[in-house]
Structure 1
């Protein structure tokens, strides 16, 4: 069975890079399409809130270190506890802003001009699929700066007609076709809702892409395989011809190698094949060179459709 599909990034292995606080973009460290590894710096930002947090952290840590060095009995237990809590709160605030442990510790040595700057790092390895921002741009918390996806394993969303009631089991083997090349895929999810605009439902596949020939956004032909209740008559797609009336036909071979165009109806679409309805089993059909046969008959003035 055939269905159109679209390749998408695997949402379970993708990562959206976004700030957790209102910031200004200072510098980018990676570009669109670049393959990066986990932990690589991606973008440096500035935030007044981060600058305030770093200042509070420096003061809290200095106070906590000072009290820890004092002799026992010179500082009350309550005062020491307050200093420790203030230090931990200041540390946690910077961590909540997205700073790494290393960057938080290095806040102690920052110059006044560098306060407020912080860097976001890749949380996964993969390719940068989008980076819609500019240096100097103001970005709100939660704004998507980059989308990183591991293209070694992708999704394919196959669009099935809402009228098709096939029961598709998980891990069902599927073939997809992109740029005249076939890839093996498996069914991973099946939607239970219907798109009200396209009147289709989505069956999601997973496909291995270790050679990185597939990319999100590509359109693909999807072919599902099922055990049929009865045999189906199918021909290569090259055997089908359009009639003057817009119908589909195939050339049927008769005696003395005479060819007659016979109208057929189309059934299900298979991998490189098309089911046809309207012919009896055993009829010989021109599977290759149908266009040549039609051209030759047109040259002799013969109407293959007997019009």
Structure 2
């Protein structure tokens, strides 16, 4: 009987003890798993931060700066072509059907105002010159006669015919000097007349041959004053930057830079090139630029709001395609922070997702990234 009681007590004790130990083991197992997760998380964080000695920073030439928001300047590129200034250019053309007798200048030649360009012959001019000579001499005769010899009506008619004939030869292109020769009965070949330069400039077009018959208004030459030229810049429609008359503009040709200003902006899109044209004016006093040249055009305009920017050297792109910068969380301690890359401003880049006032690495970020990669490799291999 005693033995049975003893066995029963031992059995009950064992039954109560074993479940207690099992529960305790489960709790311990859960605790271990939680500690493992925390260690993994800690390991993950360690791959985004690193501590460098002052000597390491000096050898790597690491530079740190504080982020500040400020107005940045957007630089936009467009191809451009130099054009003659349409407001100062002059088209040389006859005012009556004519035949070209003699040319006096050639393509590309510089001329001064008043220089003879071409000599023409015209039947209409010959008739107009003859009518003027008759009307002028008749007016001189009548004007000097006393009131008893000629009526007032005859005097008015003579003066009117003279003024009408004077207006006609003037409209056909005779100069005051050529008209004075008609007045003086100089030995002139009626029908011949000259076209003269009305501005100082360069002969940009020369579309005729001697002996050629030309029509009224047909362009013979184009004279251009190249001290001020136009630039037609073509902006892509994908570039949504607003170009205003206050924008700073530079044009570049053969490593020379020239300041320009906006004078016109087209609001229509070319259906073929899908570009819009902005017309500029550039000073060309040194005569280095000429119509027909192709140039690079750079527009610079301020942002509407302050932005945070960093040098290009501050940004690191990860294997996953993310952009990172390194901030200083405490002395000699650097932490990688993901940011969004924004607009480009010359050598500065807009960054989004970082607080103003943060101290960031502006130079030497590549070295820090390499050290982080080595540390990450060591951690995962251990």
Structure 1: unaligned runs, 5 residues or longer: 236-264, 287-307
1:265-304 equivalent positions in 2, closer than 5 A: 282=362
Query: Contact between 2:247 and 2:301, CA under 8 Å: does it hold in 1?
Result: no
Asked if 1:30 corresponds to 2:109, the answer is: no
Cα displacement (A) at 1:71: 2.4
* Alignment partner, residue 249 of structure 2: 174
TM-score, normalization: structure 1? 0.75
Summarize the Cα distance change of 1:217–1:118 in structure 2 as closer, same or farther, 3 Å threshold: same
One of 120, 123, 127 as aligned partner of 2:195: 120
1:222-261 equivalent positions in 2, closer than 5 A: 222-228=297-303, 230=307, 231=309
What is the RMSD computed on CA atoms of the aligned residues?
2.7
* Alignment partner, residue 240 of structure 1: none
* Alignment partner, residue 67 of structure 1: 142
Q: Which structure carries more relative contact order (alpha carbon 8 Å, separation 6+)?
A: 2
Count of paired positions: 252
SS in 1 for 2:235: strand
* Alignment partner, residue 291 of structure 2: 216
1:82-93 equivalent positions in 2, closer than 5 A: 82-93=157-168
* Alignment partner, residue 154 of structure 1: 229
Please give the alpha-carbon distance, in whole angstroms, between the structure 1 residues aligned to 2:344 and 2:180: 64
Please give the alpha-carbon distance, in whole angstroms, between the structure 2 residues aligned to 1:130 and 1:18: 12
Greater Rg over alpha carbons, structure:
2
Query: Contact between 2:97 and 2:216, CA under 8 Å: does it hold in 1?
Result: yes
One of 131, 136, 141 as aligned partner of 2:211: 136
Please give the alpha-carbon distance, in whole angstroms, between the structure 1 residues aligned to 2:207 and 2:365: 54
Please give the alpha-carbon distance, in whole angstroms, between the structure 2 residues aligned to 1:55 and 1:71: 27
Please give the alpha-carbon distance, in whole angstroms, between the structure 2 residues aligned to 1:67 and 1:195: 64
Please give the alpha-carbon distance, in whole angstroms, between the structure 2 residues aligned to 1:276 and 1:135: 64
Cα displacement (A) at 1:169: 2.1
Cα displacement (A) at 1:105: 2.3
Query: Contact between 2:310 and 2:362, CA under 8 Å: does it hold in 1?
Result: no
Deviations 1:202-253 (A, max 9, x none): 1111111111000000000111112245437659xxxxxxxxxxxxxxxxxx
Please give the alpha-carbon distance, in whole angstroms, between the structure 1 residues aligned to 2:182 and 2:260: 48
Summarize the Cα distance change of 1:281–1:187 in structure 2 as closer, same or farther, 3 Å threshold: farther
SS in 1 for 2:153: helix
Q: Which moves more between the two structures, 16-25 or 62-71? A: 62-71
Summarize the Cα distance change of 1:69–1:2 in structure 2 as closer, same or farther, 3 Å threshold: same
SS in 2 for 1:177: strand
Cα displacement (A) at 1:35: 1.4
Deviations 1:153-176 (A, max 9, x none): 111111001243333221532111
TM-score, normalization: structure 2? 0.61
Query: Contact between 2:310 and 2:348, CA under 8 Å: does it hold in 1?
Result: no
Q: Which moves more between the two structures, 197-206 or 157-166? A: 157-166
Please give the alpha-carbon distance, in whole angstroms, between the structure 2 residues aligned to 1:281 and 1:94: 80
* Alignment partner, residue 197 of structure 1: 272
SS in 2 for 1:59: helix
Cα displacement (A) at 1:91: 0.6
Give the number of the structure whose residues are more often helix, by fraction.
2
Query: Contact between 2:248 and 2:301, CA under 8 Å: does it hold in 1?
Result: no
Cα displacement (A) at 1:68: 1.5
Please give the alpha-carbon distance, in whole angstroms, between the structure 2 residues aligned to 1:25 and 1:269: 58
Q: Which moves more between the two structures, 151-160 or 179-188? A: 179-188
* Alignment partner, residue 281 of structure 2: 206
